[in-house]
Amino acid sequence: MKFTPWSQDVALALLATLREEKGPVLMALQLMQKEFGYVDPACVGLIAHFFNKSRADVHGVLTFYHDLRTTPPLEHQISICVAEACQAVGVRTLAKEAKARFGDMVNDSFCFGNCALGPTAMVDGKLIGRATVGKIESAFQ
């Protein structure tokens, strides 16, 4: 995945698109991550100031949601659903094998809504049903 390099000007332009939204903090954090690949620490103060919130409020939302990241992403991002439906079809074995093969690229997530085709993984934004380590590796190309 290609992301825009961090820029305060780009961040401010993105925040301006959310000016009229209700409860914009989570949307702003998600938008920053979508654009830059992560939420730069400078975004906390920027979002707080832009939406007249405290830095603590923004930081609380940022740290509550495990899918939000504060460091630039690795070359590939792999998320594996570890919710109940995927557990029922063997995701624990898949997660163990994937973490052994791909290391820090693998993160646990909770439900992609693809329960009928579990275990489910997401590789660089692409959903993979009936995931295997081989299917995950093939998704890199």
88 and 110 co-located in one domain: yes
Structural domain span for residue 15: 8-64
Exposure string over 124-138, b if 16+ CB within 10 A, otherwise e: eeebbeebeeeebee
71, 84, 111 from 118: Cα distances, Å: 29, 10, 10
100 and 129 co-located in one domain: yes
Residue pLDDT, tens place only, 37-80:
999 999 999 999 999 999 999 999 999 998 899 999 888 889 99
pTM: 0.66
Residue 113: give its domain's CATH number.
3.40.30.10
Helix (H) or strand (E) holding 80: strand 78-81
Contact in structure between 95 and 64 (CB atoms under 8 Å): no
